[in-house]
Chains A and B, each alone.
Chain A
Amino acid sequence: MIVTTEKLTKRYGDRAVVDEVSLSVRRGEVYGFLGPNGAGKTTTIRMLLGLVKPTSGTARVLGETPGTPKALLKVGSLIEGPGFYPYLSGRDNLRVHAARRGVHKTHVEAALEQVDLVGAANEKFRRYSLGMKQRLGVAAALLGEPELLILDEPTNGLDPAGMADMRDLVRALAAQGQTVLLSSHVLGEVEEICDRVGVISQGRLVAESTVEQLRGDTVLLIRADPIEKAHVLIEGSSLHGDVLHVRETDAGALVRALVHADVDVQEVRPLRRTLEEVFFEMTGAA
């Protein structure tokens, strides 16, 4: 296991921003860490890097305590946007980072090449486009050949071309066997790249599985009258226009309960959903 967390929790005041999250990232996989904005992805990642101390629970990164030199030197990260000196060139920023990491400066050129920034290496970071800034962040994360690459929403704010570049970059790294923890609030953006995904919503890990398993859940579509009453009756159902979706196995029991409560059931059928729908349903984001 590259990363394991055990009931990892962070509270700010009364609010559990990350709530007993137990996840695991395996060697060689691309792990998609998914959740809507504010779900707790960045806070979880900050705890994996020792930037934020957990309120309770534990995390191990490559068998080490997060934030220790042993753990940090084996992890490259880009968290919530790149943090570089605006007045330095891309190359100088990487040299500074290489010095901190104890990596020889010759590795800087290879990293620049990997993210396709050789041509702009002498330009000031301040002048970079957002996409270039993010790529420089990935280059910095790659310095020192880390065993784990943590990328927190690396496509955030990018235009479609920038997003495609970033996706290609991650795909290329994955093809070389790089273990990647990739967070995103857009499922469609990572579903083709990821081997497994963890879905976080309001601080809780609501699912962790392969993409296929996630999609494979059967969902029932229910048309009934009055639909609001059915919505209230069926725990965990979500209202989509004039129909209900519910992750349920026993359709018979469900219909009986509705009829018993004087609700007219007009249609019940299994629904094959897109991943996006699964995601929305799980995270409660409509």
Chain B
Amino acid sequence: MGSVKAELLRLWKWPATWVLIGVWLVMTLTFGYLFNYLALNGGTNTRDLSQQQLISSMQPENVGAAVVRGLPMFGGAIILVLAALAVGSGYGWGTWKTTLTAGPRRVSAMAGTLGALAIIVVILVALTLFVNLGAAITVASVEGWDWSWPGVGVFEALGASLLIAAMWTGFGVFLGVVTKGPALAVGLGLMWAIVTENLLRGVGSLLGPVEDLTKVLPGGSAGNLAGAVGGSGAPGVLTDLSGTTAALFLVGHVVVFVGVATLLKVRRDLV
């Protein structure tokens, strides 16, 4: 308990936490509402999205889909960066040394970090929901649409969002522990989330086995879960797997990332 409290205290007062969350909220508003709204009112050709789709994507009742679709790639990348920085920078600052000599056993110290990060990530998803909902209601009111509150389906989308966010958090923690520093962890993580999986998907269209693999990789399963709960129209969202299958793979990724990171943290010498 003390470990969670300690970690939460230092993550809460860490400017990077709020900068990253802020950047994400601005991004989700910009891409989810601002550009769509401008496209709708600009009267120009809106490329592949018809007017009706634009309106539907901005409706308050579809806010669940709006939250989840950003998380497989860009939102996930931001969460990964947050987790990788939170864990990785402790090596350079020497705070892991301070933490591991404070008293609690290593597994508790690690649980404290994971617990505090989980709380921060839940806050991030909740803020995303509120901010998106606020934007949707604003647009609907300004445009004079008939709008309604989201139905219970929003909980499915939120559950999926949390699972996707948990996977990226675990990935970031894993990279931070493995690389024992922030720089490489963030670099590798961003490359994986934004570049590597997309390249593999490109190769996959030529090679069957690679294609199957890309569906269940971290970003792939996140994209498939987002697609299965109604997310669409965002990079990284896929519809190759059922929601249950994608969710199971995500749980598997979380277990492996967190498990390996914890095992390393407990076993490895800290020098």
Contact = CB atoms under 8 A, between A and B. Distances in A.
B103 to A, nearest CB: 4
Contact of B101 (A77, A84, A86, A92): A77
Interface string B83-108: 00000000001111111111111000
Contacts of A3: none
Contacts of A82: 94, 98
B115 to A, nearest CB: 13
A46 B10 CA distance: 25
Among A51, A69, A81, A82, the one with the most B-chain Cβ atoms within 10 Å of its Cβ is: A51
B201 to A, nearest CB: 38
Nearest to A141: B101
Interface stretch (B1-9, B138-146, B256-264): B1-9
Interface string A132-145: 00000000100010
A84 B98 CA distance: 8
B13 A87 contact: yes
Given A52-B269, A88-B13, A100-B102, A83 B6 contact: no
Nearest to B97: A83
Contacts of A77: 101
Contacts, number: 85
Given A53-B269, A83-B98, A92 B6 contact: no
A89 B146 CA distance: 51
Contacts of B191: none
B4 to A, nearest CB: 9
Interface in B153-179: none
A54 B270 CA distance: 12
Nearest to B16: A87
A72 interface: yes
Contact of A97 (B13, B14, B100, B102): B102
Contacts of A99: 2-3, 5-6, 9
